[in-house]
Structure 1
Amino acid sequence: MFNNLFSKGKIGSMEMQNRIVMTPMGIHLGNPDGSMSDETVAFYAARAKGGVGVIFTEVTMIEESRGRGNCRQMSAAHDKHIPGLKKLADEIHKYDSKIVVQIYHPGRQGISAINGNLPMLAPSAIECQCVHQPTVAMTTEEVEEMVENFIAAAVRVKKAGIDGVEVHGAHGYLVNQFLSPHTNHRTDKYGGSFENRIRFLEEIVIGIRERCGKDFPLIVRLSVDEFYEKIGFPEEGLHLEDGVEISKRLEELGVDAIDVSSGTYETMNTAWEPTSFDQGWKINLPETIKRSVNIPVIGVAVIREPEYADSIIAEGKVDFVGSARQHFGDPEWSNKAKEGRADECRKCISCLHCMETLMFADMTNSPCQCAINIQSGRELDYSNFREDGDGRTVAIIGAGPAGLEAARVLAMRKFKPVVFEKSDKIGGQLEFANKPPKKEKITWLIDYLRVQAEKLGVEIRLNTAPTIDDLKELNPYAVFVAQGSNPIMPKSISGIDGKEVLSTVDILSGKVKLEGKKVGVVGSGMTGLETSELLAEMGNEVTVFEMADNIGPGLFFQNLIDIMGRVSQYGVKLYPKHKLIKIENGKATFELMESNEIKDYSFDNIIISLGTRSNTELLDQINTNFHIVKILGDASKPGKIRNAMETGFANAYNL
């Protein structure tokens, strides 16, 4: 099965057991001084044990004065880091996997506050329009010193017994900044012509080859297209034809493989894609590079399914299949595919919780998190599944993500979970979340939880809302309450119970279908915006109202940019600073928050999207009648998928 994916591969002198690559992603698990932490080793070891052919580490510092991306990342900037890197290599090699360290400098995309409050170094003094940090152009001497920093870091990596090194020339970081005419306006030998713009990378490659030898695998990651047309600047930056030219030159210089990616911070969603981006959406990029060079090409393109991964190798589009988030979500993805258990893969749903937590990690001092795999980044905390359940029954009320994740972990621990679900299907809120356009990946999580329940023999009683007597009949060791939440329909708003007023659940469940109507949506959280998109797609004229100063308050900016780009295509009207006061016969009355003016709008239907409230049905009686009661997910506090999965996992793990 998947013979192409599991054929042996080779990059330079490095031979791999398969064609699967975990590409780099920040994890924020390192020690503050850049030394190797036990948590980092455990994280990568889990992926090696899971069958990944070659693992590329997170971005690794080559100099620490102005080269930090965050406060807890790996470093190869000093000889003192060699023993830690060796510890990592030795651990990975236990599982017949290979390890490559990615070296980089953030350049203008770094954050001054964690780099000595100094301006960020860049080819030219052009501030990044994403991070907006003070930026200074490097002198020629500073560029030459930086070349040496890259080379010296590669030498340390080799001394540590690491299998290869990757120079990060993608995603708008320093090397990419030199390559791109958008960010390189220099007039010395490192700027202007193609030959000058590639000189920085060329000198790094030549230096690594001279100091590390031809037999030490050297890979370069490239944004072969910066996609500036996606943000309205079609003439700016690098385009695919430039990526081809750079790749050809790197092949001439003796680089062993090209790791193809795209985008910069300013075109972020083309590098770290939200859920709307389809699997394989940019596979044409590595395919084009592969047709242009004779060295191996690694490709990424929201690759999630083993079937698809195998097919793009068979079709000659890539030599190696790369993904970071997929292996973050399921370190066992490779083994599952190899063993014919592809249906058990926990496929990444591209929700970007990992990116959101990584971007705020320096403030929260917490590692990068995965919404659907609670063990990711906490391998040392959650590695011991004690099989001490002894067949004891645990009643679980609700078959949403919290309840099903709890059931999975309890079954692994040899408890006997019995899940009650009042509806005719599992999934809970996920069965609403997967209905808007471009949200199909949510169904992957439902499918994963379903398969796990089936494989582990979890009993699920559909169409059953248990009574206290039903629960007592089980004589449960514990009761887990995961009965979700209900839409908030504030009774303080006059007319909220009118026949023309609906909740988002009414729309997303399919209970009510609206076509060709004039619809007002009150509330611009993600549910409100996604429901608006669905309504617009169904041919309705949609207007969204929000009491806050801006549409989408509190939403992660990548997801907000993504959904706003789509609703704008439908002509959805957006009105922030509007507070709903009352509804009467299809007329919605709002107070304008800036002027206190009262304004009326008329609609055929008004959809309320003002959040949800925990379902507390039977909760007091459950607490009275049972000794061990755990409240999970939205039933405890309405939140995101991570909250549901984490409360389900942790309570089951620690019971």
Structure 2
Amino acid sequence: MYRKLFSPKKIGTMTVRNRIVMTAMGNYLAEADGCVSDADIAFYGARAKGGVGLVITECACINLEIGKGNCHQMAVDNDEHIEGLKKLADEIHKYGSAIAVQIYHPGRQGIAAINGNTTMQAPSATECQAVHQPTHEMTKEEINDTIDRFIQGAKRLQKAGIDAVEVHGAHGYLIGEFLSPYTNKRTDEYGGSFENRMRFLDEIIAGIRRECGKNYPIIVRYSADEFMSYVGHPELGLNLEDGIKIAKHLEAQGVDALDVSCGIYETMNTAWEPVGFDQGWKIHIPTRVKEAVSIPVIGVSVIREPEYAEQILQEGKVDFVGSARQFFADPEWGNKAQQGKEKSIRKCISCLHCMESLMMTDINQMPMACAINYEGGKETHFGDAHLKQDGKNRVVAVVGAGPAGMEAARILAKRKFNPIVFEKNHEVGGQILYASKPPKKGKTAWLTDYQKAQLEDLGVEIRLNHAPTLEELKELNPYAVFVAQGSIPIMPKSLPGIEGEKIFTPIDILSGKVTLRDKKVAVIGSGMTGIETAELLGAQGNEVTVFEMEDKIGPGVFFQSLIDIMGRITEYGVKLFPKHRLIKIEGTTVTMETTDTKEAKIFNFDAIIVSLGTASNTELLEEMQTVFDKVVLLGDAAKVGRIEGAIGSGYKAAFEL
């Protein structure tokens, strides 16, 4: 079905069994000393077993003392790391896949607090505008030492049986900083002209060739466009024409393949895209590079669907299709595609929980997590191999077919229980039904599509349009009752006028129950639900004003997602009023009070949307807890949260029952 996708291709002397590449992403699974952990081996092994042809690991440190991104990151800076790397290579090879290890130094994008509280090394003392860490210009001695560390790191990989080395020159890390005129202001032989800015990377490549020989494959990952236009400075940094020039230069230097990406920390959303970026939005970048060189090109572009991957391969736009997050979300993507089981693929919904959790790892000491794949990064403890088959066809009633209820039903069925799912609405999905309705949020519904297909394959009974009574549940004589009833909007009755006829909830708008067009609309509350509702209203031609009592719009919203949506609502002319607390509503007149000056302000609207959060739905809960021995609360019914909490609670409850 996917002839090109599953055809082999060589990168230098290395044969890759198909065109599927898991590109690098951090995971916080390595040991504190940089050694490969059992969790690493299980994580990457699952992706190789699942059909990835070339696994590229997270970026490994060439200087663990002053060049790491987090405190549990793979490293290649001493011989003690070779043994673990060999075990990792052996695991990947067991499944017929190839492995490359990406080597890097964070440069000015590193965090001083975890790097000896020293200033971060960089080609020039240009502070990163995203992490704002102290930075110093590298001396010649530091440059020479760092080059040698890259070379020796690659040599250790070769000794460990790693098939190829990927030199990380992308995303604004140290090598990329030398390449870009935005970050490289040097006036010596390592700065200024194109040739000088390439020199740092050229000497690394030449050294690896010298130490590892002409047959050891070298891949270079680089940002072919830094997208400084995304932050209003198109004149700064590398653009695509520069990226094409770099590609030709690297081919001339003897590099075996190019892994083409884009962006730096200041333009982070172009490298690690939020939901607002469509599949294929940047495929023109690796395509332009491929047109300019004859060596293989790995391309990334929010690739999620096998059909699209095959299409861009057939069209000659790339030689290999790359993704990191997709294979975090579903390690079996390759096998499922090859077997024609597209509906069973758990497609990444670009929610960025992985990135948000990665940025918190050194604070909470927890590995990176995927919102929709609870097993991701936890393969040593969770997954099909760890599921007990002791359900004995015992009935478990699952009340609610949102993400938590369906995930629980999926795992229960795999354990040979007999889950029966009740859903009061005419379709499954719960809150996902509403979350997928704002502009650019259609990917979110992929989760429901996957869960629905899984339950169908497992033969799980779902009773739609059915809110069970206590008597119905009793008749089932269930071994347990899982309550996943979700949440309901908070409408504080203490607020005068909150029950007026022109007062609506976000669900009213997102469900289509209420449609507003060409109206003057207020949205009270700018959490993710409120601001996405405002975007939908703006797209429908309304004049929208958002009020928020906190100091800034979007409290609690992950900054990448906020940047994404704020860029779009600006186009609709949405007005934003932070530091405004709702006092009362009189018909369609709203009285607000500024939180800093305590000034009262009066506004008039045609409709008012109250988005002040949600509360757990406790319908029948007390009665169920009285009647049944095992009553387990899942998702929002237990604690209002986001998708990752719903999936996690459903998985764990079913796993532990």
Verify same fold: TM over 0.5.
yes
Contiguous gaps of at least 5 residues in structure 1: none
Match of 1:335 in 2: 335
The residue correspondences of 1:489-528 to structure 2 (distance < 5 A) are 489-528=491-530
Instruction: Measure the CA separation in 1 of the matches of 2:258 and 2:587.
Output: 63
The C-alpha deviation readout for 1:154-191, integer Å capped at 9, x for no partner, is 00010000010000000000000000000000011100
Match of 2:409 in 1: 407
Give secondary structure in 2 for the equivalent of 1:198.
helix
Please tell me the root mean square deviation across aligned C-alpha atoms, in Å: 0.5
1:65 Cα shift?
2.1
Give secondary structure in 2 for the equivalent of 1:287.
helix
Instruction: Measure the CA separation in 2 of the matches of 1:64 and 1:427.
Output: 45
Instruction: Measure the CA separation in 2 of the matches of 1:578 and 1:252.
Output: 60
Give secondary structure in 2 for the equivalent of 1:441.
helix
2:299 matched to 1:299? yes
Give secondary structure in 1 for the equivalent of 2:302.
coil
Identify the match of residue 424 of structure 1 among 422, 426, 430: 426
Identify the match of residue 436 of structure 1 among 435, 438, 442: 438
The residue correspondences of 1:94-243 to structure 2 (distance < 5 A) are 94-243=94-243
2:132 matched to 1:93? no
Letter in 2 for 1:300: V
1:128 Cα shift?
0.1
Letter in 2 for 1:433: A
Match of 2:355 in 1: 355
Give secondary structure in 2 for the equivalent of 1:268.
helix
Match of 1:257 in 2: 257
The C-alpha deviation readout for 1:93-130, integer Å capped at 9, x for no partner, is 11111110000000000000000000000000000000
Instruction: Measure the CA separation in 1 of the matches of 2:425 and 2:587.
Output: 32
Give secondary structure in 2 for the equivalent of 1:624.
helix
Match of 1:648 in 2: 650
The C-alpha deviation readout for 1:240-262, integer Å capped at 9, x for no partner, is 11111111111111100000000
Match of 1:459 in 2: 461
Match of 2:623 in 1: 621
Give secondary structure in 1 for the equivalent of 2:442.
coil
Match of 1:379 in 2: 379
Contact 1:542 1:573 in 2 (8 A): yes
Letter in 2 for 1:488: I
Instruction: Measure the CA separation in 1 of the matches of 2:587 and 2:171.
Output: 52
1:535 Cα shift?
0.2
TM-score (norm 1): 1.00
Instruction: Measure the CA separation in 2 of the matches of 1:554 and 1:635.
Output: 21
The C-alpha deviation readout for 1:261-305, integer Å capped at 9, x for no partner, is 000000000000000100000000010000000000000000000
1:16 Cα shift?
1.4
2:34 matched to 1:34? yes
Instruction: Measure the CA separation in 2 of the matches of 1:118 and 1:94.
Output: 42
2:591 matched to 1:606? no
Give secondary structure in 2 for the equivalent of 1:471.
helix
Match of 1:10 in 2: 10
Letter in 2 for 1:601: F
Letter in 2 for 1:427: G
Give secondary structure in 2 for the equivalent of 1:250.
helix
Runs of 4+ in 1 over 4 A off after TM superposition: none
Instruction: Measure the CA separation in 2 of the matches of 1:426 and 1:23.
Output: 33
Contiguous gaps of at least 5 residues in structure 2: none
Instruction: Measure the CA separation in 1 of the matches of 2:10 and 2:652.
Output: 41
Give secondary structure in 1 for the equivalent of 2:118.
coil
Contact 1:225 1:240 in 2 (8 A): yes
The C-alpha deviation readout for 1:569-612, integer Å capped at 9, x for no partner, is 11100000111010002101111101111111110000000000
Letter in 1 for 2:248: K
The C-alpha deviation readout for 1:473-528, integer Å capped at 9, x for no partner, is 11110000000000000111000000011000000010000000000000000110
The residue correspondences of 1:589-600 to structure 2 (distance < 5 A) are 589-600=591-602
Match of 1:50 in 2: 50
Letter in 2 for 1:542: V
Give secondary structure in 1 for the equivalent of 2:237.
coil
1:64 Cα shift?
1.7
Identify the match of residue 539 of structure 1 among 538, 541, 545: 541
Give secondary structure in 2 for the equivalent of 1:195.
helix
Match of 2:370 in 1: 370
Give secondary structure in 2 for the equivalent of 1:60.
strand
Give secondary structure in 1 for the equivalent of 2:544.
strand
Contact 1:591 1:597 in 2 (8 A): yes
TM-score (norm 2): 0.99
Match of 1:397 in 2: 399
Letter in 1 for 2:299: G
Match of 1:573 in 2: 575
Instruction: Measure the CA separation in 2 of the matches of 1:323 and 1:88.
Output: 20
Contact 1:140 1:188 in 2 (8 A): no
1:68 Cα shift?
0.6
Give secondary structure in 2 for the equivalent of 1:226.
coil
Match of 2:23 in 1: 23
The C-alpha deviation readout for 1:377-402, integer Å capped at 9, x for no partner, is 10011131111111111000000000
Give secondary structure in 2 for the equivalent of 1:648.
helix
Identify the match of residue 638 of structure 1 among 627, 637, 640: 640
Letter in 1 for 2:616: S
Contact 1:68 1:110 in 2 (8 A): yes
Letter in 1 for 2:397: A
Instruction: Measure the CA separation in 1 of the matches of 2:579 and 2:410.
Output: 44
Count of residue pairs brought into register by the alignment? 655
Instruction: Measure the CA separation in 2 of the matches of 1:35 and 1:17.
Output: 28
Instruction: Measure the CA separation in 2 of the matches of 1:610 and 1:361.
Output: 29
Identify the match of residue 450 of structure 1 among 428, 449, 452: 452
1:25 Cα shift?
0.2
Identity over aligned residues, as a percent? Answer: 63
Letter in 2 for 1:114: I
Instruction: Measure the CA separation in 2 of the matches of 1:65 and 1:646.
Output: 35
Instruction: Measure the CA separation in 1 of the matches of 2:457 and 2:14.
Output: 37
Contact 1:6 1:19 in 2 (8 A): yes
Match of 1:68 in 2: 68
Instruction: Measure the CA separation in 1 of the matches of 2:275 and 2:556.
Output: 18
